[in-house]
Amino acid sequence: MENGKLKVTVFAGGISNEREISLKSGAMVAEALRSSGYQVEMLDPNPSKGWQLPAGTDVVFLALHGTYGEDGQVQAELDRLGVPYTGSGAEASRIGFDKLLTRERCVAAGVTMPRSCVLKEWQPQMPEGWEPPVVLKPVREGSSVGVEIVNRQEEFDAALSRSLKYGGVALIEERILGRELAVGVLGKQVLPLVEVRPKSGVYDYESKYTMGKTEYFCPADIDEISQTRAAELALKTFHAVGAKDYARVDMILDSKGECWVLEINTLPGLCQTSLLPKAAAATGINYTDLCSKILQMAVKK
């Protein structure tokens, strides 16, 4: 079908803690698709109020993030409607959004990940066998929402209390020090690595989405062996959760040259500061073409 005859509905906004970022991603995606000749409408889905696809929608472009976006719920509803959509399917989205399920699949596939354990209730001290530095993170959140860095034992109880506010289940994870890398996968292609250097030292929500708070280097200036290892781990992670079409895998390269996968994002951001567009640009794929490629992969499904 020609671009001008294809009617696309961009889902953006939603109900998650990442709503504002989703709206920015969605607006940029819609503008890019319109410039490519597609008929584009936007929808801000809210499950409590119900939503209805605009008449004649041929395909949905998901620019949602977080709960009711990346977690498989929207995907399952679109499956029931029989409408194709961008990104991974419902089950892969559910697994990829859940850090514990992701870990189970990845470890079974031989992916190197930091040591971790699950915390389901508040406690004043770290579990036996643990000591700082550690990372606390909600099991089901994105964009570093609820992530806490604990460098001293006395910081733990308050940090855990804050992290547990997001869903009531958290992971305590060994903090691996090193260079932060984002590895994009587009179709069968691993994109050039992006090195992320937050000026605050922590790549938190503010560092991710505030212009000037983080430096990005793409392609990352790392040795060929580490590049190959990172690309292999990204693909292993991608396939372990059953992802489709595109995703971003975040990892740490430590001082010994070992790569440690932290998580996968099955609907990576597509706004001004996002990492996947930076990686695509390094291969000569501009933002407009990136959005079109993602859309066309959905159409072919």
Q: Using one digit for the tens of pLDDT, what is the confidence trace for 97-121?
A: 999 999 999 999 999 999 999 999 8
Residue that terminates a domain, selected from 150, 174, 198: 174
- Domain count across the chain: 3
Active site residue 248: yes
CATH of the domain at 69: 3.40.50.20
pLDDT at 207 exceeding the cut of 80: no
Say if 296 falls within a structural domain. Answer: no
* Residue of 72, 142, 250, 274 marked active site: 250
* Residue of 143, 163, 274, 292 marked active site: 143
CATH of the domain at 138: 3.30.1490.20
By DSSP bridging, strand 259-265 and strand 246-253 are: antiparallel
Taking each helix axis from N to C terminus, what angle separates 287-300 and 19-35, rounded to the nearest 10 degrees? Answer: 90
Active site residue 265: yes
Considering the domain architecture, whether residues 88 and 125 belong to the same structural domain is answered as no
Q: Using one digit for the tens of pLDDT, what is the confidence trace for 194-205?
A: 999 877 666 666
Considering the domain architecture, whether residues 14 and 91 belong to the same structural domain is answered as yes
Considering the domain architecture, whether residues 91 and 161 belong to the same structural domain is answered as no
Considering the domain architecture, whether residues 276 and 181 belong to the same structural domain is answered as yes
Amino acid letter for position 105: R
Give the Cα separation of 113 and 171 in Å (integer).
13
CATH of the domain at 276: 3.30.470.20
Beta bridge partners, 265, equal 248
Say if 299 falls within a structural domain. Answer: no
Say if 129 falls within a structural domain. Answer: yes
The domain of 9 spans: 3-95
Token pair, residue 261, equals 């996968």
At 301, is the pLDDT very low, low, confident or very high (cuts 50, 70, 90)? confident
Considering the domain architecture, whether residues 55 and 10 belong to the same structural domain is answered as yes
